[in-house]
Chain A
Amino acid sequence: MESSLIAAAKGGDASAFETLMGAYERKVYALCLRMMGNPHDGEDCAQEAMLRIWQRLSQYRGDSAFSTWVYRVTASCCTDALRRRRPQSSLEAMQEDGFDARDDAPTPPEAHEARETQRAIAGALADVPADMRSVFLLRDVHGLSVEDTARALGISGGTVKSRLSRAREKLARSLRAQGFGPQNRDGR
């Protein structure tokens, strides 16, 4: 079904593309949101990613899964957007101005703890450099394999692993500093 939609969309059928990408819009938006660190920039970036996917669909040859290619284009859009981002509007500067990347929406009590951890991770991600952040998001949040992450980001599997390890360590340190997890680990 997906392949026929891809073929139709490649032929310029916008409605086929809409049906095809309807299944990915949430993933694209979520990746952009976490990469950019705030909903406004995340939405702008996700819009651009969707349009770029549409415009470059003819370049998709089917060598990898379509989802991997979608992530590749989206991650590329995020990288470009972060590069374009002016210093005064950087995430760090926004945080200095009081911006909090975490979602402060109220949560039901039963899901409170899990949501708090997720929010904390989302907030702590802002401290992780963009190249590591993208690897972490694709591997640990979106669940891509090492190979697919490497393909999506155009880097080697070894680079994925090294960036991932640093991202995980950085995030873990940040989360522990916020009081998540046992403060004094007894090691494994």
Chain B
Amino acid sequence: MRCEEFERIILSGGEITPDMRDHAQHCAACRALEENADVLSGARDMDRDVEVPASFCRGWRAQVRRDAAMRRPSLRERISDGLASLNRRMVLRGAAVAACALVLVGVGAQLGGRESVSDTYSAKARTANYALSSAGAAYGTSYDSAAMFAEEDSGETEARSLSDGAAQSERKIVRTAQMSVEVEDMDAAVAALQERVQALGGTVDSCEISGRRGEGRWASLTLSVPGGALDGFLSGAGALGTVTREASQTTDMTDTYYDNASRLESARAQKQRLDELYAQAQDMSDIIEITDAIYDLQWEIDTLTGANQRIDTRVALSQVSISLTEKASDAPEETPDLLTRVKESAQDGVEALADFLESLLLLIIWALPWLVLIAAVVAVIAGIRRVRRRR
């Protein structure tokens, strides 16, 4: 009898057979289980309710992805490998050409043994020139055009992948800025800002102006300005008046962005794999399990996509908060002439009378129900008194 069978029977509360007794006599582990089954039977379900932390689920996946990414040869390594192999090829070709040149020189010397020293020199020089030109041609486009095209193609591919790599590693910098400016003319300043933002392709997210004209109005604007035009925009805004405060922040979201992108890629690949499994699944429990996993992955994909889109938006459009303060008018108020003041006083009097009459009318209307009630009560009391007097 095997231990597994013994355990199965013991833990399911089955009868102990002579075989089992015999096994337990020789197996200390099974004997220990038999003697303690009453308290150990719950062990198998001990981990049933263990909750796996989300940080662990995310953590090991991220570690594995990082490790996988590190294992891939980098662009630099691929380029240096390519150069090394190119160098090897060039050395081999050079050596072959030099060997040919030496052979030709030798043969030439043997055939033209009667040549003068200068001829020999010329011949050697010609041979050497030939050798050099051959060697040069070996590296020229006309000589091995197919190979060079291939090399050019490979170079182009590398260049393309370099540019892809550059695009991949494009930094995701989110910039925000705040500025306080004291301006002479609030309306003109606000209009100028709005016009400038719209011209740059940005938007005015909010605009609030408070205060009375001529008494130092205050405005607050929140603007979305294309990231590339932020510096120019800020200097333009500063030129509207006197800058009393200027601040800017830069947040590097590169790591977050590419980490999200990597997780997104992985989630998409997993989802594709699960989609394939789903298409093949026959068992209902498998279908349910795969469906749950697909939903989870889809949720992750949506979340990561949204997060990166938000980063893209924040990188493309920098948020700028500008507060404008209008300088209060320093010019003394002009005193109006007598006629004007009489007119204004008369106008004020008429307006005050009209206000009073309006208020009185409203008061009467408001009090009317109460007056009716009081009149009714008074009439009743008066009627009672009259009756008493008659008696």
Contact call A141/B27, Cβ cutoff below 8 A: no
Q: Give CA–CA (A140, B36) in the complex, Å.
A: 13
Contact call B52/A29, Cβ cutoff below 8 A: yes
Q: Which residues of chain A come closer than 8 Å to B71, judged between CB atoms?
A: 12
**Given A29-B52, A161-B29; A54-B64 close (CB under 8 Å):** yes
A161: which of B27, B39, B67 is its contact (CB, 8 Å)?
B27
Contact call A141/B43, Cβ cutoff below 8 A: yes
Q: Which residues of chain A come closer than 8 Å to B273, judged between CB atoms?
A: 15-16, 19
Contact call A182/B38, Cβ cutoff below 8 A: yes
Q: Give CA–CA (A121, B55) in the complex, Å.
A: 26
Q: Which residues of chain B come closer than 8 Å to A182, judged between CB atoms?
A: 38
Contact call B47/A30, Cβ cutoff below 8 A: yes
Let me know if B126 is at the binding interface, CB within 8 A: no
Q: Which residues of chain A come closer than 8 Å to B39, judged between CB atoms?
A: 117, 171-172, 175-176, 180-181
Let me know if A100 is at the binding interface, CB within 8 A: no
Let me know if A155 is at the binding interface, CB within 8 A: no
B64: which of A33, A39, A43, A50 is its contact (CB, 8 Å)?
A50
Q: Is the interface of A mostly helix, strand, loop or mixed?
A: helix
Contact call B32/A39, Cβ cutoff below 8 A: no
Let me know if B34 is at the binding interface, CB within 8 A: yes
Q: Which residues of chain B come closer than 8 Å to A55, judged between CB atoms?
A: 67
B36: which of A54, A114, A169 is its contact (CB, 8 Å)?
A169
Q: Which residues of chain B come closer than 8 Å to A122, judged between CB atoms?
A: 46
Contact call A140/B43, Cβ cutoff below 8 A: yes
Let me know if B44 is at the binding interface, CB within 8 A: yes
Q: Which residues of chain B come closer than 8 Å to A166, judged between CB atoms?
A: 32
Let me know if B274 is at the binding interface, CB within 8 A: yes
CB distance from A37 to the nearest CB of B (A): 13
Let me know if B45 is at the binding interface, CB within 8 A: yes
Let me know if A67 is at the binding interface, CB within 8 A: no
* Residues of A within 8 A of B (CB-CB), count: 58
Contact call A1/B277, Cβ cutoff below 8 A: yes
Let me know if A143 is at the binding interface, CB within 8 A: yes
**Given A18-B266, A161-B28; A29-B50 close (CB under 8 Å):** yes
Per-residue CB proximity of A1-40 to B under 8 Å, as 1/0?
A: 1000000000011111111011001100110011000010
Contact call A50/B60, Cβ cutoff below 8 A: yes
Let me know if B57 is at the binding interface, CB within 8 A: yes
Contact call A172/B46, Cβ cutoff below 8 A: no
Let me know if A46 is at the binding interface, CB within 8 A: yes
Contact call B32/A168, Cβ cutoff below 8 A: yes
CB distance from A116 to the nearest CB of B (A): 9
Let me know if A93 is at the binding interface, CB within 8 A: no
Task: Point out which of A55, A140, A181 has the most chain B C-beta atoms below 10 A from its C-beta.
Answer: A140
Let me know if A162 is at the binding interface, CB within 8 A: yes
B56: which of A47, A115, A118 is its contact (CB, 8 Å)?
A47
Residue ID in chain A nearest B4 by CB atoms: A145
Residue ID in chain B nearest A21 by CB atoms: B60
Q: Which residues of chain B come closer than 8 Å to A103, judged between CB atoms?
A: 49
Contact call A14/B266, Cβ cutoff below 8 A: yes
Residue ID in chain B nearest A145 by CB atoms: B4
Task: Point out which of B48, B60, B274 has the most chain A C-beta atoms below 10 A from its C-beta.
Answer: B60
Contact call B56/A43, Cβ cutoff below 8 A: yes
Residue ID in chain B nearest A46 by CB atoms: B56
> Can you list 21 A-B contacts (CB < 8 A)?
A14-B64, A14-B266, A15-B269, A18-B270, A19-B270, A22-B293, A26-B50, A30-B47, A33-B50, A34-B46, A47-B63, A51-B63, A103-B49, A115-B49, A121-B46, A160-B29, A162-B29, A166-B32, A168-B33, A168-B40, A171-B39
Top 9 A-B pairs, shortest CB-CB distance: A172-B36, A50-B60, A15-B269, A165-B28, A117-B42, A14-B68, A181-B39, A168-B32, A164-B29
Q: Given A50-B63, A143-B44, output 13 extra A-B contacts at Cβ < 8 Å.
A: A12-B72, A13-B68, A25-B57, A47-B60, A55-B67, A118-B49, A141-B43, A161-B29, A168-B40, A169-B32, A172-B39, A176-B39, A185-B35
